[in-house]
Chain A
Amino acid sequence: MAILEVKGLSKYFGGLAALSDLDLAINEGEIRGIIGPNGAGKTTLFNVISGVYRPTKGSVIFRGSDISGLPPDKIAKMGVVRTFQRAALFHDFTVLKNVTIARHLHAKEGVFGAILGTARQMEKESEEKALELVEFMELGDLKDELAMNLPHGHQRALGVAIALAAEPKLLMLDEPVTGMNPTEKQHMLQLIKKVRDQGITILLVEHDMRTVMGLCTHITVLNFGKKLAEGLPEEIQANKAVIEAYLGGEEIAA
């Protein structure tokens, strides 16, 4: 069953079509990779799905309801949560606090609760749940470090933990292994698989081909804002059009 459907989606920036008439269906439980050359519209697609941009045309349907044009917080509430290309974290806070803050959605607290301290119990539960997530992302030893002091690989893992704190059903990862060394990459791949095994569908954009091929169950290739190809990793690797798009139509001996 499709958890997310994108229908006829277009996004124009002035006269430039970053996405044009894109259709996409992501099934529950898969790890879908979106690849494509620079400027193919991958990040725009992310921004439109997560509500950062409004689509110019078309719709995004998540579990049967239209989420296109909603603000990011509403979309997050419905269960679509994204990470960012940059290490977007609450840098001045500790690792644990980062995740606790992101439990916001599930830890409603009013002004009076805050003042009277009646919300403490709930805050404690929220923190326990956050600790679980921190440990799940294998950051347990670092829980009291400031986010800004973490090495890059751990920062990205924390980024995922923050997203998980909002309890997504669909997690969107924007280049999760960018700038990592091979060991960090390997570790991240395992973590992503672990997340998927929790029953969370994953949509990811990535440049690193080896990662995409090794991780994704299905791959969609974008070029100039349009879908170029879609299929299993092996099919994509053998696809003429894809190779051409990546290599600019020239045969280059490997």
Chain B
Amino acid sequence: MIALCIVPFFLRAYPIELLIMFFINAITVVSFRLIVTTGGYNLGHWVLVGCGAYASAILGKSFGVPFAVAMPLGGVMAALVGLLISYPLVRMKGFGFFIGSYAAGEAIRLCLIQFHYPFGGINGVSMIPSPGTISLPGLPTINLSNDIPYYFLSLAVMLICVFLMYQIDRSHLGDTFKSIHTDDLLAQCVGVNVNRYRILNFVIASFFAGIAGALLAYRVGAIEPRNFEILGLVYVLIWAVIGGTNTFAGPLIGLTIFTVIFEATRPFEAWRPMVFGSIMVFILVYLPGGIADVIMKIPSAFKRPYRRLRGEGT
């Protein structure tokens, strides 16, 4: 934590940029996993990030809404889109949800292309205003479009979002989501309104995806529909699969590992798809629970015999 606060002052621009993207991706993948807790891989998730990016960018550019307002509104907009598409999507399960969510995402993306006003068609939205400045009394004015301030901004937003989602995950509400994944019929027969909870879950996750999108839009300054094509989604899936979605930390671990490998393989860029393809296949075959599952098993492997010695275990 402390390292994360000190580190940007010693880094050059590129690694800072990398960390900013890492924070944004962290929000994306954790919100992606939130939907997985009720059972499905939402293949429209990257487009929901796009919705947040577009909404906040347009609000900032065309309506002069300040960044501090545009960012949460980007989340709200994505949540509204999520609400709209979740209505049919929560009535699908397993493979149907897979295809349905992809189709819904593509439909939205095509809307972004087809409607020139306000989405700018295929060229998207460029010249997104800078996130502005913060002036605190007694301190020099901070320009958020600079690397280090934006680094701290995205770090803070990421921490808040991840914390909120963690709170949900470990609450009774989070358990209800997971119970739907485990056995939706049983959950329904003890009184859980399955569709309502799946919609709620989808909307919450969409909100956070939208926040990630807003952070992204204001960092890169220009967005276009192509940014939210399937490739971005594939990355989200890789993060989730590498880390595993059984635990809250899994996707974050997956994202970290991915980012390290991704940067390490920069000299052999042409080989990257093969490297990631092999890793994915290996993990899916030998570690279906992802790397987080393996990490979680290590302490219990040590703990068990110890507990047994003390006569506490069963």
Contact = CB atoms under 8 A, between A and B. Distances in A.
Interface stretch (B129-137, B165-173, B255-263): B165-173
A67 interface: no
B172 A119 contact: yes
Interface string A158-194: 0000110110000000000000000000000000000
Interface residues of A, number: 40
B188 interface: yes
B149 interface: no
Contacts of B168: 111, 114-115
A145 B314 CA distance: 9
A197 interface: no
A100 B175 contact: yes
Interface in B130-186: 164, 167-168, 171-176, 178-179, 182-183, 185-186
B173 A109 contact: yes
Contacts of B186: 84, 88-90, 162
Contacts of B185: 52, 72, 84, 88
Interface stretch (A31-39, A91-99, A199-207, A231-239): A91-99
Interface stretch (A22-30, A54-62, A74-82, A132-140): A74-82
A131 to B, nearest CB: 15
A77 B188 CA distance: 10
Contact of B189 (A82, A90, A111, A117): A82
B190 A162 contact: yes
A81 B164 CA distance: 34
A115 B164 contact: yes
A105 interface: yes
Contacts of B175: 93, 97, 100-101
A90 B183 contact: yes
Nearest to B182: A90
Contacts of B176: 101, 104
Interface stretch (B51-59, B66-74, B101-109, B191-199): B191-199
Contacts of B167: 114-117
Main secondary structure of the interface of B (DSSP, over half): helix
A73 interface: yes
A116 B168 CA distance: 9
Nearest to B176: A104
B281 to A, nearest CB: 25
Nearest to A97: B175
A90 B164 CA distance: 25
A71 interface: yes
A123 interface: yes
Interface range, B side: 20 to 34
A68 interface: no
A48 interface: no
Nearest to B170: A114
B83 to A, nearest CB: 14
Contacts of B189: 50, 52, 72-73, 76, 81-82, 84, 163
A90 B184 CA distance: 9
A28 B306 CA distance: 52
Contact of B183 (A89, A111, A117): A89
A20 interface: no
A25 B168 CA distance: 44
Nearest to B194: A73
B129 to A, nearest CB: 31
Contacts of A119: 171-172
A223 interface: no
A119 B167 CA distance: 11
Contacts of A117: 167, 171
B204 interface: yes
Given A107-B172, A114-B171, A114-B173, A101 B179 contact: yes
A100 B173 CA distance: 11
A185 to B, nearest CB: 23
B193 to A, nearest CB: 5
B200 interface: yes
Contacts of A97: 175
A71 B193 CA distance: 9
A71 B188 CA distance: 8
Given A93-B182, A101-B179, A81 B171 contact: no
6 contacts: A72-B189, A88-B183, A102-B190, A104-B172, A115-B168, A115-B171
Q: Give 4 nearest A-B pairs by CB, closest first.
A: A114-B171, A76-B191, A105-B191, A114-B173
Interface of B: 164, 167-168, 171-176, 178-179, 182-183, 185-194, 200, 204, 314
Given A73-B193, A93-B182, A162-B186, 17 more contacts: A73-B188, A76-B190, A77-B191, A84-B189, A88-B186, A89-B183, A90-B178, A92-B182, A104-B176, A104-B179, A107-B172, A109-B173, A113-B173, A114-B172, A114-B173, A163-B189, A166-B190
